[in-house]
Structure formats: structure tokens, C-alpha cells
Amino acid sequence: MTTDADPATSDDRAAVAAVKAALRAEALARRDALSEAKRAAAAEEIADRIAGLGMAPGAVVSAFLPIRSEVDLRPAIARLFTAGHRIGLPIMVKPTLIFREWLPDAPLVPLGFGTVGPGPAAAVVEPDVMLVPLSAFDRRGGRIGYGRAFYDLTIAAMRTAGRAPRLIGVAFSVQEVGAVPMEPHDVALDMVVTERDVVVP
């Protein structure tokens, strides 16, 4: 039996964390190296693929706005909204997230960390489908986030409450890695959408 204080367990966790950190840094460096033109073209391809996923009519979809060199989901958000979906954007309420409704004419407010989103007056929505940001992914549905576990904790809380949203990672193809080391708290994705293909484990 091991405990949190067990040196072997601590060493194992440290080793996994180090692998994840290296994969994250390498994938983000490849993402950062993409030109603005390539990122813009890829965002349109990704929007096309998301629009073709066959989401249930009226499904509530959580999305995200780009930070730094992330995929720009605004083309996808516009298409989903036009198709009749309600859109939620993430708001940090530590240690998890809530999702406030995005509307095309509603102002966005600064949220810290260079992000913006709907203000406190916006309705809070419960997503049926989550478009999940990531730093790296593999073809088994493994995901490496940004190291703060907001999405993992949020999804775990949803499942505890009896909700099971469809989890769709969104990334550029250059963010793919051979294998993501998965830990017990890590949540696997149902699929990953890139500009090249839709990865289904």
C-alpha cells in the first residue's frame, strides 16, 4: 500500500509531471511557430469540421476565445450560433469553471490572464458539448492542458452531478504527440478536431 508520502509514489508523479511539461513545451513551441496566416486558415478548416460533427439540435456548446497562439474558435462559434446552438464561454471560479452565455452583440469584459468573456449579467449555461483547449494531444484521446487542471476538475464535478458532456479537444495538428501519460485525474477526450482531421480514439 502506498500513501501520498511514499517516496516511490512521489517520484512517479514527479516523473510523469516532467514528461508532461516537456511534451507541453514542445507542442506549444510548434504552435507558436505557425504563422498568423496558417493559424487563420486552420481556424476556418476547424470551424468546417466542427460544423460537420452532427451535434444535437439546440445543444449547448462551451467554447473558448484564443489566448496567445491558440486556435481561434470565433469562426466556429459564429457558425454554431447561426445553427441554433447556445454558446458558453469559460469563467474561472476556482478551482473549477462556469460557462456564461455568449451572445453576438453582448459586450465582453476582462477576466484576467489576458482573457475576456461575458460579464456577470450573462446567463450561466450547462454545456452538452465542450470544445476543450489543450497544449498537446494524442490519438487515444489523451490531453495535456496548461497545468492548472481547471477543465479536468470541472468535468469531474459535472460527472459527479450526473452530467456527461461530449468532450471535443480543439488544436492545430502540430500539437499532436506520440503518447500522453495519463494519470487517474486526467479526463480523456471523446475526439480531437484539428485542421487536418477528426481524431476519434
Residue 64 is labelled as binding a ligand: no
Residue 38 is labelled as binding a ligand: no
Dihedral sign, Cα of residue 92, residue 57, residue 78, residue 167: positive
Cell of 112: 484576467
Residue 159 is labelled as binding a ligand: no
Residue 24 is labelled as binding a ligand: yes
Residue 20 is labelled as binding a ligand: yes
Residue 49 is labelled as binding a ligand: no
Cell of 185: 485525474
CB 40 within 8 A of CB 197: no
Residue 121 is labelled as binding a ligand: no
Give CA–CA dist 130/63, Å, rounded: 7
Residue 73 is labelled as binding a ligand: no
Residue 150 is labelled as binding a ligand: yes
Dihedral sign, Cα of residue 189, residue 194, residue 198, residue 201: negative
Residue 46 is labelled as binding a ligand: no
Give CA–CA dist 150/97, Å, rounded: 7
Cell of 122: 450573462
Minimal CA–CA distance to 129: which of 98, 95, 163, 166?
166
Length reported for the chain: 201
Residue 65 is labelled as binding a ligand: yes
Residue 34 is labelled as binding a ligand: no
| Cα angle value 42/43/49 (rounded, 5°) | 90
Residue 148 is labelled as binding a ligand: yes
Residue 97 is labelled as binding a ligand: no
Residue 67 is labelled as binding a ligand: no
Residue 15 is labelled as binding a ligand: no
Residue ranges of the annotated binding site for substrate are 65, 70
Residue ranges of the annotated binding site are 20-24, 65, 70, 143-151
Residue ranges of the annotated binding site for ATP are 20-24, 143-151
